[in-house]
Amino acid sequence: MINEEAVHYSRILTEVTLSFHIIYATIGVGIPLFIMIAQWVGIRRNDEHYILLARRWTRGYAITVAVGVVTGTAIGLLLSLLWPNFMEVAGHIIALPLFMETFAFFFEAIFLGIYLYTWDRFDNQFKHLLLLVPVAIGAAFSAVFITTVNAFMNSPQGFEILNNELINVNPIEAMFNPSMPTKVSHVVATAFMTAAFILASIAAYRMVKGSKHIYHKKALHLTVTVGLVFSIASLIIGDFSGKYLAQYQPEKLAAAEWHFETSENAPLILMGQLTDDNEVRYALEIPSMLSILAYGNPSAEVIGLDQFSEDEIPPLYIHYLFDIMVGIGTLLIIVAAIYWLGIRRRWKFIKSKAFLWLLVFSGPLCMIAIESGWWLNEVGRQPWVLHGIMKTAEGATSSNQVELMLWLFTGLYVVLGIGSVIVLTRMFKKNPIERELAERNQ
Amino acid sequence: MDLEIIGILVLWTFLFGYVMIASIDFGAGFFNAYSEFTHKNHIISNIIQRYLSPVWEVTNVFLVFFFVGIVGFFPSSAFYYGTTLLVPVGIAVILLGIRGAYYAFATYGKNPAKHYTFLYGATGLLLPASLSIVLTISEGGFITMVNNAPVLDYWKLFTSPLTWSIVLLSITSLLYISAVFLTWYANKANDKKASNLLRKYALIWAFPTMITALGIMVELRAHNPTHFANLLNLWWMFAISFLFFLGTVWLLWKGKKFGIAFSLLVGQFAFAFYGYGFSHYPYLLYPYLTIYDGFTNEAMAISLIIAFILGLALLLPSLYLLMKLFLFNKTYIEGKNPSSKGVPSK
Ligand code: HDD
Ligand code: HEM
Ligand code: HEM
């Protein structure tokens, strides 16, 4: 009954759609916080630069949200269209957070519409700022609820199965599954971190291109400082995510770390290469570090892949995804910390082009970390769509037209992707900050 | 009342909300493209900028709400409809994507290119056509079970007169709904020229709407006699709907009280929509799926309903605020407010 071809194309279409949506969704979750901070600082200090920061960010944000809405609607429908069997089961147990997510969207969409179109309608600027609060809350809660669903897929609970029937369903217990606390907080923290570094990239880019305007310095300082806070938070929560994996999804952790034999004092393997008979070459090994990562204790025993049957082990390439994510996270903490210290201590080189270029790359690097993290999380769950309950292939559609849809949707994403980049660059190129400031002061 | 009935009522109500506001949105896109084509300058594009741009995301959420809700309340519908609707709904999503891109790139980024305006207008007609196919399929006869999996018979679907009469109805009624609303809105904005033009469109589309609606009755009688008999039992709902229709047309003809004309139109469609919905009861999909055997477990149903009530408590005041600012605010709709021209103004 399983249609292999349909499964194959459904997978690709899901991967493409989610990988595209997450770019805009992450920006959508993160940016409102920064608009809020900038507008607040601007009103408090009566500093027009910050107010303009908020305005310009908002203009860009309106466009990324629109693409987020379009791709999100696509995912929502595609989940039912491509994974009908999975959604039938999921609908019984985990529909509650999905349903609440739509309310979060509603809330966000309504206030975003109001916020965007009321910049000059209030005499008291604080009132206008207040309108942004529900936008930020709505966006963050969309992430919280959808990630709860994803956490459930990784550690399903809150129901029993008797003779192929679901019984004793408890939607609340399903929501608060073991994977939920770390996953939700890691996703939200990394979204804020990513938004920070993307905005920092833009400011740094302007400075590299020779702008000496204080406006960009203010923007860079604000975003990198907040980015530092959230990147440290991401690291700490990421460490807890590893501890969660060790306990509930040991095969995912073992595959991500190329940990083949169950052992104590397990070493952490960084990068490297795998031979055909699973020997690790050219890797950096840190003794006992995996045991520390997994249990906070250097002599703890870590379960290896030898405990699992061949067909329940996820693809081993997730090791690289894990290393990329952690590598980028660590690098950005260092860069942001150097910047922060450098500003205090008046180090010269943080104003140098080379260092600014590093900051220019921080945003795109963060986005790569987000993609790697999600791929690690999703591919690492394979072959399950519902961990331990339903295999991915069993969840898929039996339709024969998935390939056609794949091409159509890919075309749509190409148009949306290129279009959003063109519109955004044109919007800011045509209206540089120097000109906007001059016009406002007339 | 059964939980099943509460569930379907909630969903049907949101679908009704979507049908009404999406019709306004889709139709406006079409009229906009049409007036561009006939060089009636930008009479309508102002209204699109001022009214539709701030609310299109909200319109979209109504749809999201419906399809997330139906999988929540009736998980089996994911199995039957999910498997069979890949192509029609997939295409609808892509069309929605094109519309979203128009709002994002053209109105936020300002100068919409001409061919894009046409594309945007065309999606307004194609969307109801592809979405209304879901209603056709729900009448049964197009899906068969092969190896325990539902399969859609495309040939039968596209050669059935029922399909085409439903497509026609969706298009005519969307143009009608949209024209009536925009007449009222333009009139409120004191834009006499736009209001007159739209009033004309509304009158033009009124009678095709009625005729296609009758056409569906005829087709349904042959296609699904059970459903047809149920419809006849509810004849009074359709009679009320028809009276409302006459009221709207009369007011439009006289050229007065457009607000009341639009309220009557909402009444007309509400009675017809709920009448159709009740007569469909208890089937979600003839003859495979009823709301009773497709329903979720009790614990989930209760928690969804509680979430719904709490959500509404949050939502209704916010929606009211949105309407107050963009629908009923005189300076805004007349375009006198500095921020009514784009995002966010300088
Ligand atoms: C900017 C992005 C970013 C950065 C810098 C990091 N992460 Fe991450 N990570 C994510 C973005 C992300 C993510 C996209 O948010 C994921 C994917 C799914 C999820 O739950 O979060 C994720 C998942 C994820 C998982 C898998 C959880 C699971 O499958 O249940 C682990 C173990 C870590 N992370 C650990 C870390 C550690 C130790 C980091 C050290 C710096 C780190 N992450 C940095
Ligand atoms: C937005 C960030 C996400 C990304 C980038 C992502 C990416 C992926 C990838 C790469 C796979 C394929 C794994 C494989 O086949 O080897 C996958 C599978 C899947 N994901 Fe996610 N995912 C994300 C979030 C979610 C969430 C929040 C949900 C649920 C609500 C979800 C539902 C699914 C389902 C149903 C599958 C099974 C299909 C498959 O294996 O291809 N995903 N996802
Ligand atoms: C499979 C999983 C997902 C589904 C089904 C999904 C669904 C949706 C839908 C339907 C929308 C449009 C809502 C509207 O009409 O306003 C949307 C937008 C959004 N999604 Fe997703 N989404 C998924 C993954 C994610 C993830 C993983 C995140 C966050 C980390 C996220 C965050 C958002 C946000 C914040 C928006 C609002 C638009 C924006 O601000 O850019 N989504 N999503």
Query: A5 alpha carbon to ligand 2 midpoint, in Å?
Result: 18
Q: Inform me whether the pLDDT recorded for B339 exceeds 50.
A: no
The pLDDT score that the predictor gives to residue B85 is 85
Alpha helices in A155-213 (DSSP H): 171-175, 180-208
The pLDDT score that the predictor gives to residue B334 is 66
Q: What is the mean pLDDT of residues B49-75?
A: 82
* A201 located within any domain: no
A254 confidence band (pLDDT: 50, 70, 90): confident
Nearest protein Cα to ligand 3, atom 33: A25
Q: Is B133 on the interface with A (CB under 8 A)?
A: no
Query: Chain A interface, mutation test: which of B71, B143, B325, most A Cβ atoms within 10 Å?
Result: B71
Query: A12 alpha carbon to ligand 1 midpoint, in Å?
Result: 22
The pLDDT score that the predictor gives to residue B49 is 67
Nearest protein Cα to ligand 2, atom 9: A15
Q: What is the Cα–Cα distance from A100 to A96, expressed in whole angstroms? A: 6
* A72 located within any domain: yes
* A44 located within any domain: yes
Q: What is residue A179's DSSP assignment? A: T
Q: Inform me whether the pLDDT recorded for B54 exceeds 80.
A: no
The pLDDT score that the predictor gives to residue A332 is 93
Q: Inform me whether the pLDDT recorded for B338 exceeds 50.
A: no
The residue behind tokens 């400075």 is A207
- B72-86 per-position pLDDT tens digit: 888 888 888 888 888
Query: Looking at the 3D structure of chain A, how many domains does it have?
Result: 1
The residue behind tokens 């889709």 is B26
Residue pair B5/B291 in contact by the 8 Å Cβ criterion:
yes
The pLDDT score that the predictor gives to residue A234 is 93
A9 confidence band (pLDDT: 50, 70, 90): confident
The pLDDT score that the predictor gives to residue B108 is 57
Which range has the worst mean pLDDT, A427-431, B9-13, B92-96? A427-431
Q: CB A236: neighbour CB atoms within 10 A? A: 12
Which range has the worst mean pLDDT, A325-329, B128-132, B139-143, B172-176? B139-143
User: Which own/partner contact pairs does A376-379 have at CB distance under 8 Å and 24+ positions apart?
Assistant: A376/A256, A376/A318, A376/A321, A376/A322, A376/A325, A377/A150, A377/A154, A377/A183, A378/A15, A378/A18, A379/A314, A379/A315, A379/A317, A379/A318, A379/A321
Q: Which residues of B touch A77 (CB under 8 A)?
A: 67, 89-90, 93
Q: Inform me whether the pLDDT recorded for B235 exceeds 50.
A: yes
* A259 located within any domain: no
Percent of chain B residues past pLDDT 90, beyond the cut = 2
* A187 located within any domain: no
Q: What is the mean pLDDT of residues B279-285?
A: 82
The pLDDT score that the predictor gives to residue A2 is 67
**Burial classification of residue B342, based on how many CB atoms lie within 10 Å of its CB (0-12 exposed, 13-18 middle, 19 or more buried):** middle
Q: Which residues of B touch A82 (CB under 8 A)?
A: 82, 86
The pLDDT score that the predictor gives to residue A286 is 78
Query: Residues 171..200 of B with a Cβ closer than 8 Å to A: which?
Result: none
- A280-326 per-position pLDDT tens digit: 777 777 777 778 888 878 787 777 777 777 778 888 888 889 989 99
Quote the pTM value: 0.89
A342 confidence band (pLDDT: 50, 70, 90): confident
Q: What is the mean pLDDT of residues B255-275?
A: 87
The pLDDT score that the predictor gives to residue A62 is 86
How does strand A390-391 pair with strand A384-386? antiparallel
The pLDDT score that the predictor gives to residue A217 is 84
Q: Inform me whether the pLDDT recorded for A356 exceeds 90.
A: no
Query: B325 alpha carbon to ligand 3 midpoint, in Å?
Result: 26
Q: Inform me whether the pLDDT recorded for A123 exceeds 70.
A: yes
The pLDDT score that the predictor gives to residue B110 is 56
The pLDDT score that the predictor gives to residue A144 is 94
Checking ipTM against 0.90, whether it exceeds it is: no
**Burial classification of residue B276, based on how many CB atoms lie within 10 Å of its CB (0-12 exposed, 13-18 middle, 19 or more buried):** buried
Q: What is the mean pLDDT of residues B27-48?
A: 74
Nearest to A95 among B86, B94, B296 (CB): B296
- Say yes or no: CB of residue A197 within 6 Å of ligand 2: no
The residue range of the domain holding A59 is: 1-179+385-442
Q: Inform me whether the pLDDT recorded for A248 exceeds 70.
A: yes
Average model confidence (pLDDT) for chain A? 86
Q: Is B339 on the interface with A (CB under 8 A)?
A: yes
Q: What is the Cα–Cα distance from A233 to A375, expressed in whole angstroms? A: 21
The pLDDT score that the predictor gives to residue B342 is 41
**Cα separations in angstroms, A414 against A16, A60, A410, B97, B123:** 11, 19, 6, 12, 19
Q: Which of the two residues, A414 and B216, has the higher pLDDT score?
A: A414
Nearest residue to A193 (alpha-carbon basis) of A71, A417, A67, A365: A365
- Say yes or no: CB of residue B59 within 6 Å of ligand 3: no
**Chains A and B: how many Cβ contacts under 8 Å?**
234
